[in-house]
């Protein structure tokens, strides 16, 4: 019995890749247009060079950044051998060159995130996530974050954000020049001024759209790694039930509010994940003892859980 609908999975990946390329092209086109409006043809060249230079600058190491922002600490294999065993298996399935280190965030909120790429890739889980999610759902969350690392999503978002920052700088400079020379201009610069004003906003909306697209792709990639879209569906549902829905979440769930989200709504994510799962659900294989979740940071031993076998 097939564990995933391979045709639907391929269609999801193809759609996400196409959307990501089109969004990045749109961001680059806006940046190039603003550079041309402000400086001329040379502005396009300098905007591209500036974006590449920003991308090439090595960011602060992931572990250093997470320690500064969240107080994260390394999660040693001896403290969570089962969790590290899952991470090794996911890394092998994803074809990563090395197993990303795991960090522990001492917070009650349910937080899971990945940062960096290549050898600097890191995954962090909060205390709330480890306490409240059973093993199957934790594996699905780890697979989602592993998919982010495999696809280099942070690098794509950094590229989009770098182009956005340069677009914003060029736009501000262009508006300043227009206001400075307005009395001596022969024609009204209404159209140019309008483009300079809206360009940063358009770039921000495109960057948010790119972020949502990469989340969809990480969901599909995570389900591909585990063969278990239902595990991620359950994790998303549990996280929302435990964390609740805040005012910002309610505001941005419908209509125009969706344009300013970094993540798709849970309903959108679940709808796509359900397309991947054949009915009835496949049979699960028992996890080997080496991957069991033992006592973790003072938590009681986790119950036995299920892991989908390879096809």
Digit-by-digit pLDDT tens for the chain (311 residues) are 346 778 889 999 999 999 999 999 999 888 888 888 888 888 778 777 877 777 666 565 677 878 878 888 888 888 888 889 899 999 999 999 999 999 999 988 899 999 888 778 899 999 999 989 988 899 999 999 999 999 999 889 988 988 888 889 889 988 888 888 777 766 667 888 888 899 999 999 999 999 999 999 999 999 999 988 999 999 999 998 888 766 566 666 666 777 888 889 899 999 999 998 755 544 444 444 433 344 444 444 434 444 444 44
Paired sense of beta strands 306-307 and 285-286, if any: antiparallel
Which residues pair with residue 123 across a beta bridge? 102, 114
As a whole number of angstroms, the distance between CA 256 and CA 261 comes to 10
Instruction: Yes or no: say if 38 and 50 are a contact pair by the CB < 8 Å rule.
Output: no
Q: Which of 264, 231, 213 shows the shortest CA–CA distance to 24?
A: 213
pLDDT in the model for residue 308: 46
pTM for the full model? 0.83
Q: How many CA atoms lie within 13 A of 302 on its CB side?
A: 25
pLDDT in the model for residue 192: 84
Q: What is the token pair recorded at 302?
A: 């986790």
Instruction: Yes or no: say if 54 and 167 are a contact pair by the CB < 8 Å rule.
Output: no
3-state SS track over the chain = CCCCCHHHHHHHHHHHHHHHHHHHHHHHHHHHHHHHHHHCHHHHHHHHHHHHHHHHCCCCCHHHHHHHHHCCEECCCCCCHHHHHHHHHHHHHHCCCCCCCEEEECCCCCCEEEECCHHHCEEEEEHHHHHHCCHHHHHHHHHHHHHHHHHCHHHHHHHHHHHHHHHHHHHHHHHHHHHHHHHHCCCCCHHHHHHHHHHHHHHHHHHHHHHHHHHHHHHHHHHHHHCCHHHHHHHHHHHHHHHCCCHHHHHCCCHHHHHHCCCCCHHHHHHHHHHHCCCCCCCCEECCHHHCCCCCCCCCCCCCCEECCCC
As a whole number of angstroms, the distance between CA 184 and CA 182 comes to 5
């Amino acid at each position: 019995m097939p564990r995933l609908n391979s045709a639907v999975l391929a269609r999801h990946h193809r759609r996400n890749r196409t959307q990501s390329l089109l969004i990045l092209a749109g961001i680059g086109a806006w940046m190039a247009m603003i550079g041309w409006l402000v400086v001329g043809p040379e502005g396009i060249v300098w905007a591209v060079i500036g974006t590449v230079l920003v991308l090439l600058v090595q960011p602060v190491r992931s572990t250093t950044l997470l320690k500064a922002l969240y107080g994260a600490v390394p999660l040693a294999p001896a403290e969570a051998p089962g969790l590290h065993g899952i991470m090794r298996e996911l890394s092998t399935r994803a074809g990563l060159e090395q197993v990303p280190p795991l960090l522990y965030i001492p917070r009650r909120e349910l937080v899971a995130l990945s940062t960096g790429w290549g050898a600097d890739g890191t995954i962090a889980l909060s205390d709330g996530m480890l306490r409240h999610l059973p093993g199957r759902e934790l594996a699905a969350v780890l697979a989602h974050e592993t998919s982010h690392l495999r696809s280099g999503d942070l690098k794509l978002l950094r590229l989009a954000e770098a182009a956005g920052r340069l677009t914003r700088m060029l736009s501000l400079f262009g508006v300043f020049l227009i206001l400075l020379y307005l009395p001596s201009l022969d024609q009204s610069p209404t159209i140019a001024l309008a483009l300079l004003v809206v360009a940063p906003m358009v770039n921000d909306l495109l960057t948010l759209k790119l972020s949502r697209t990469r989340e969809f792709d990480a969901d599909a990639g995570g389900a591909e790694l585990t063969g278990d879209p239902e595990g991620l569906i359950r994790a998303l549902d549990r996280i929302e039930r435990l964390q609740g829905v805040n005012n910002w979440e309610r505001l941005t769930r419908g209509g125009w509010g969706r344009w300013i989200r970094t993540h798709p709504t849970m309903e959108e994510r679940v709808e796509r994940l359900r397309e991947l799962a054949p009915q009835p659900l496949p049979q699960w294989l028992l996890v080997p003892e080496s991957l069991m979740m033992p006592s973790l940071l003072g938590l009681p031993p986790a119950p036995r859980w299920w892991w989908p076998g390879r096809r």
